[in-house]
Amino acid sequence: MNLLKGRIGALYWGGSLLALTAFGCGAKQPSQELVNARSAYERASTGQAAELVPADVYTARKSLERAEKAHEDDANSFEARSRAYIAERKAMSAIAKAQSREARRQVEAAEQQRLSVLESQRDSARLTLDETSAELERVRREMQTGNEELRNQLAQRARELEARQRELEDARRQRERAEQQVTAAVESLRQVGMVRSEARGTVLTLSGSVLFPFGKAELFPAAKQRLDQVATALANIERPVEIEGYTDAIGSDANNLALSRERANAVRDYLIQRGVPSEKLKARGLGETNPIASNDTAEGRANNRRVELVFPRAGQRQTSAEQRRPAPTERGSEPGEAAGWSDAPAESDSAKEQQK
């Protein structure tokens, strides 16, 4: 708006000056200096100078008016030409000053832009920094959580391992104790019978002829003394002992099996009577199977008639028939039920006899 007003004002002034020149002193030919001065003023008053440096444009106008007047007075005088010369330079000076002002305005604008760019750079850097800090904090928290989980897992694993270690240690001690118990028991029984070591454990063999009369399942009184020693030895043993009855090959398998079972039960019953807990004793009859000597000679048959006490090796839960030493002759034809362990002494004949 100001610019427009300035321009209109300048045009008006210029127009009035031209009118003055045209009608007031039309006859006089303007000097080159005056032509230049008018032209320069025209440029100053219609350009940006009118708005930017109005005081200088005004000065230029006064100077031009003075030149016009001098021209009126004496068109070709040195003074008239000098006034026009000066007026031209005042107008040019106003234009140059306007250019200066415009340039300084541009510098200010540039400075403003520079500040705003720097500000936005700073803001963006601050934003990036904030984002990075937040990310860092997040990662740090994750790491802490991760560490905690890891520590917990490791601690849990360590506890499990310790428990397992204790279990193994306990088991080892138990095994050692059992081993020692068996060794001690067996040592004390060397006078009672023959002791030998097998894969399934330590085996104490009691001669049948020492324990029972021929074909019977009732213990000799002398046999009872030996079994008292066995009962004493078993008092210190934790693991169950297996009592196995065997016969020679004379007579039918069924009879031999029944006899061997009765004899095994007789030994078991006596030992229970002497204070050995029943759950520590298992008895079964195996008849003429697993002979340890030839049945062709009287001596061999005597050896085969026997009762074996098996002290299972530590770490072995139970001895199965398959784990036994290989039999020198073919095995018994009916190991099925007959070979099963008898834990019920009430069913045995000897127990019935004892109850009578």
- Asked if residue 231 lies in contact with residue 275, where contact means CB atoms within 8 angstroms, the answer is yes
For another protein, the binding residues in 223-242 under the rule CB under 8 A are none
Q: Does 107 bind another protein (CB under 8 A)?
A: yes
Distance between CA atoms of 34 and 81, rounded to whole angstroms?
Answer: 7
For another protein, the binding residues in 195-224 under the rule CB under 8 A are none
In the bound state with another protein, the residue whose beta carbon lies nearer, of 98 and 230, is 98
Distance between CA atoms of 85 and 67, rounded to whole angstroms?
Answer: 8
SS3 percent helix, strand, coil of the chain, rounded to 5, is 65, 10, 25
Q: Does 35 bind another protein (CB under 8 A)?
A: no
Interacting residues of 232 by C-beta distance below 8 A, sequence separation 6+: 188
Distance between CA atoms of 120 and 167, rounded to whole angstroms?
Answer: 69
State the minimum distance, in angstroms, from the CB of residue 97 to another protein: 5
In the bound state with another protein, the residue whose beta carbon lies nearer, of 61 and 226, is 61
DSSP bridge partners of 285: 245
Q: Does 150 bind another protein (CB under 8 A)?
A: no
For another protein, the binding residues in 43-82 under the rule CB under 8 A are 78-79, 82
Q: Please choose, out of 96-104, 133-141, 233-241, 287-295, the segment that lies near another protein by the rule CB under 8 A.
A: 96-104
Cα dihedral 321→326→332→335 (10° resolution) = 10
- Helix H or strand E encompassing 204: strand 201-207
Interacting residues of 42 by C-beta distance below 8 A, sequence separation 6+: 14
State the minimum distance, in angstroms, from the CB of residue 142 to another protein: 26
As given in the structure block, the two tokens for residue 119 are: 């500000």
State the minimum distance, in angstroms, from the CB of residue 102 to another protein: 8
Q: Does 331 bind another protein (CB under 8 A)?
A: no
State the minimum distance, in angstroms, from the CB of residue 56 to another protein: 9
First to last CA, the chain: 142
Of 99, 209, 278, 342, which lies in the binding site for another protein, with binding defined by CB under 8 A? 99
Q: ∠44-46-50 over CA atoms, to 5°?
A: 65
In the bound state with another protein, the residue whose beta carbon lies nearer, of 84 and 227, is 84
Q: Please choose, out of 119-127, 139-147, 174-182, 275-283, the segment that lies near another protein by the rule CB under 8 A.
A: 119-127
Report how many residues bind another protein under the rule CB under 8 A: 27
Of 62, 104, 140, 166, which lies in the binding site for another protein, with binding defined by CB under 8 A? 104
DSSP class of residue 245? E
Residues that bind another protein (CB under 8 A): 78-79, 82, 85-86, 89-90, 92-93, 96-97, 99-100, 102-104, 106-107, 110-111, 113-114, 117-118, 120-121, 124
